[in-house]
Amino acid sequence: MAWSFALPFLLLFLVFMAVPIATALVTSFTDLRVTDIRNPLSVNFVGLENYLAVLGDARFQKAAANTAVFVLVGVPLTMALGLAVAVGLNQQIVRFRTFFRVGFYLPVVTSIVAIAVVWRLLLGTEVGLINGTLASFGIDGPGWLSDERYALWSIIAMAAWRNLGFLMVIFLAGLQTISGDLYEAAEMDGANPWQRFKGITLPLMRPTLLFGAVITGIGYVQVFEEVYVMTEGGPLNSTLSLALYAYDQFSFGNYGYTAAIAFILFLAIALLTTIQFRLFRTAT
């Protein structure tokens, strides 16, 4: 009886998740290419060759380094901004609260293509709003997206702006579970706002922060759309991400190689999530 209730999920999971994942795992140990797809069984098993080739590829190393910077800077930045906005909007005195909430959440539900168009107008070298403003002060602005020193940071800024709205909503929900009595008691004891934030808000928000860190971390390790529409990984691979690297290899038809990248990416996500759980583990 119990199994019949579980069956619809199990079937869908098997057909659309387990089987493809297992297939990809097998593929990652073969030399399957696009030219084999009429006859996919006639490929050779190559053992760990794909994995070794991926790890030894300079472009993969560059993509891994870029992705690491993106995650290590982007996740704390997005969380800090999301928390700041949530705490701000949680004050009783804020007017137009709904207006601000919608404003911060809007980027989350907006198509990345529309966002890319707007940010290109902002960050453009010759006709960008930022450089135009700088120029009126006599400053010659850099190529925010066309200079390899700035491109990754521009993308991180855009990603943080785009995703902070999601964390804001989660954090707002978390903040509202904290009883007002605690703050009142702390205030009576003479705790200033920073002490109240550090002593009450942060510890009680720990599970919510963990959730935010894990969700954002998983998303950021797989960062794709932002770089795909803004820079296509350039200039000089300075914004090439692991997912974009995998996408490029897939479009070249190197399916076995791409599957190996996908599994390395999967391991990276598992590792990152484990570390996050350790970091946020409730102190006992």
- Binding site residues, other proteins, CB under 8 A: 19-24, 26-27, 30, 32-35, 37-38, 40-45, 120, 124-128, 143, 146-148, 159, 162-163, 219-220, 222-226, 232, 234-237, 242-243, 246-248, 250-255, 258-259, 261-262, 265
Asked if 208 and 174 touch (Cβ cutoff 8 Å), the reply is yes
Q: What is the DSSP letter of 45?
A: B
Closest-CA residue to 155 (of 166, 164, 165, 144): 144
Instruction: State which amino acid sits at residue 240.
Output: L
Please state the closest distance from residue 83 (CB atom) to other proteins, in A.
Answer: 19
**Gap between the Cα atoms of 255 and 249, Å rounded:** 8
Measured in degrees and rounded to the nearest 5, phi and psi for residue 231 equal -135, -10
Tell me how far, at minimum, the Cβ of 21 lies from other proteins, in Å: 6
Give the separation between CA 80 and CA 211, rounded to whole angstroms: 14
In whole angstroms, the minimum distance from the beta carbon of 184 to other proteins comes to 39
- How many residues are listed for the chain in this entry? 284
Find residue 30's DSSP bridge partners: 45
Tokens of 27: 């593929």
Contact yes or no for 164/103 (Cβ under 8 A): no
Task: Between 71 and 86, name the residue whose CB sits nearer to other proteins.
Answer: 71
Nearer Cβ to other proteins (182/215): 215
Q: How far is the CB of 64 from other proteins (least distance, A)?
A: 14
Nearer Cβ to other proteins, position 53 or 200?
A: 53
Query: Quick one: 74 or 174, whose CB is closer to other proteins?
Result: 74
Nearer to other proteins, 152 or 259 (CB): 259
70 in Cβ contact with 223 (< 8 Å): yes
Q: Which residue type, as a one-letter code, is found at position 219?
A: G
Which one-letter DSSP state was computed for residue 198?
I
Least distance CB 152 / other proteins (angstroms): 15
Nearer to other proteins, 42 or 92 (CB): 42
Q: In the bound complex, what is the minimum distance in angstroms from residue 32's beta carbon to other proteins? A: 7
